[in-house]
Amino acid sequence: MNDRLARALKFTAADLEQNRQGRISAAQRQPYTTPPVSRIAVYVILGHGALLLGLLGAIAVVANQPVMWLVLGIVAVMGLMPLFLTRSEFLSRPVVQDDVNRGKVAQVCGVVSLTMEGKRYDLRVGTYEFRGVSLKVWGAFKQNIAYCVYYLPRSGVILSAEECPDDQGA
């Protein structure tokens, strides 16, 4: 196992073995799972929100100032933000989330070609191209060396990679 690739892609030997078998490991699944929001946290947030909104609403009624209703609205929106932020990864990358839920890992083997266009780093393995990889990942591969790259099939997220055995390369 190549340590430079393992550090750049954040995988272990156990992850690599699972990927070779076409499966995503539990450790690789972890960063893409949405953390559960406990009921007590929801009740605490909603309870504090109701108390604060009630207080601000009472002040707005007594003060009879339209700007207080605006303050009330802003506070209400900000109070609900934690409930939405905990689901942001799931909402912002549904294709990745779907790939992770399916648990299937694809493999491509071939000679690597590294290209850079402006600030975008691309990695071609055989005929498959991974566009916009990080500089750290891009720098972990060596030009014109054969690799097997394990990735999520729909989203193209690279999970692990290894130099190909002689019979699988080019």
Q: pLDDT of 44-69, one tens digit each? A: 877 877 888 888 888 878 888 878 78
- Looking at the domain assignment, is residue 98 inside a domain? no
- Looking at the domain assignment, is residue 99 inside a domain? no
Pairing verdict, β 128-133 and 146-151:
unpaired
Number of domains in the chain: 2
d(CA 148, CA 165): 9
The model's pTM: 0.68
Domain housing 126: 3-28+104-163
User: What per-residue confidence (pLDDT) applies to 32?
Assistant: 78
Tell me: do 51 and 71 sit in the same domain: yes
Span between the terminal Cα atoms of the chain, in Å: 19
User: What per-residue confidence (pLDDT) applies to 87?
Assistant: 56
Condensed to tens digits (0 to 9), the pLDDT of residues 135-150 reads 999 999 999 999 999 9
Tell me: do 47 and 72 sit in the same domain: yes
Tell me: do 45 and 69 sit in the same domain: yes
